[in-house]
Structure 1
Amino acid sequence: MLIEERTAADGDLTALLDAAFAELVARYGPEGRSQVRAGARYLVASVDDRAVGCGAVQPVDSGTGELKRMYVLPEYRGRGIAKSLLSALEELAAGLGYRRLRLATGVRQPEAIALYERCAYVLTEPYGKYVDAPLTRCYAKALAQQ
C-alpha cells in the first residue's frame, strides 16, 4: 500500500470523495456536503496502483487540525487501510504543528466510531455546525509532537 499527498484537483481523489458522499447520502439522506477549508491537505491510499482510500487534515487554529473525508472503498475495508491512513494523517498534522486533531462522524457509521476509539480518539462535546446534529459524534485526540 502507498499513501501519498494529492491535490484537491486530483481525479482519483475526486472519485473517492464522490463515492464517500454517495455513501453518506445512503446512510443519512441528502444533507448538504460540507466544504473543506482552504489549506486542507489530502492523502490518498493506493493498492496495486488503484486509489482505494482518502482523508484530509484541515486547519482550525494554530494548534488544532480537523480530520475530514476519511473514506475507504467498501471492497477494501477490513485490511487495515483506514488505520494506516489515519496514522499518516496524524503524522501529517503533527508535522504541520497541530497539537490536537478533532473530527465529526455519525452514529450510522459504527465502523468509523470503532476505528477512532481504537486509535485513542475521545468523545467530546459537539462543535460548530454539529452542536445541533443529534446523529453526529465528535472526537478529539492529542498528538505526539515530532
Structure 2
Amino acid sequence: MICKRTTSQHPDFIQLVQYLDAELAERDGDEHAFYHQFNSIDSLQHCIVLYEGSEAVGCGAIKTYDHTTVEVKRMYVTNTQRGKGLATQVLMHLEAWATELGFQRCVLETGIRQPEAIALYKKMDIIKFLITVNI
C-alpha cells in the first residue's frame, strides 16, 4: 500500500470524494444537501490518497480547525477494499501528518448514518481525537 500526500486538486482524490458523496447522498437522503455544505474540498491542502498498485482505494484530509487542532475530512475507502484495515491506515497517516505540522489534536465528526465510521473512531482509541457524532 502506498500513501501519497497531495492537495484536493489531485484527480484521484477528487474521484474518490465523488464516490464518497454519492454514497452519503444515498445514506443521508433529504438531509444530504445540508451536510454537503460543510464538505467542500476546494481549499484542502493536506490530503492523502492510498494506492493498491496503481488503483486509488482510499483517501482523507486534514483541515485547520484552530491553532492546535485539525479536523479530519473526506475519509473514504472504496467498497471493494473495505474490511482490510485501510480506513485505519488513512487515519494513522493523517494523524502523523498533523503531528508533523505541529498540531496537537484532531477533531472527527461523522453522522449517525455512518456506523462504520463511528466504530472505526471508537476502535482507534486515540486520546488526541475528539469524536462528535451529529444526530
How does the TM-score come out when normalised to structure 1?
A: 0.80
Preserved CA contact (<8 Å) 2:8 2:43: no
| 2:9 matches 1:4 | no
What is the percent sequence identity of the aligned residues?
38
More helix by share: 2
SS of 2:33 mapped into structure 1: coil
| 2:89 matches 1:84 | yes
SS of 1:108 mapped into structure 2: coil
Q: Matched residues in 2 for 1:93 and 1:55: separation?
A: 12
Preserved CA contact (<8 Å) 1:12 1:51: yes
Q: Matched residues in 2 for 1:136 and 1:51: separation?
A: 29
After superposition, where does 1:93-132 map in structure 2 within 5 Å? 93-120=98-125
Q: Matched residues in 2 for 1:70 and 1:55: separation?
A: 4
Q: Matched residues in 2 for 1:97 and 1:27: separation?
A: 35
Deviation at 1:38, TM superposition (A): 3.6
Aligned twin of 1:31: 33
Aligned twin of 2:50: 45
Preserved CA contact (<8 Å) 2:7 2:45: no
| 2:73 matches 1:68 | yes
Q: Matched residues in 1 for 2:45 and 2:80: separation?
A: 27
Residues paired across the two proteins, number: 128
Deviation at 1:14, TM superposition (A): 0.6
Deviation at 1:37, TM superposition (A): 7.3
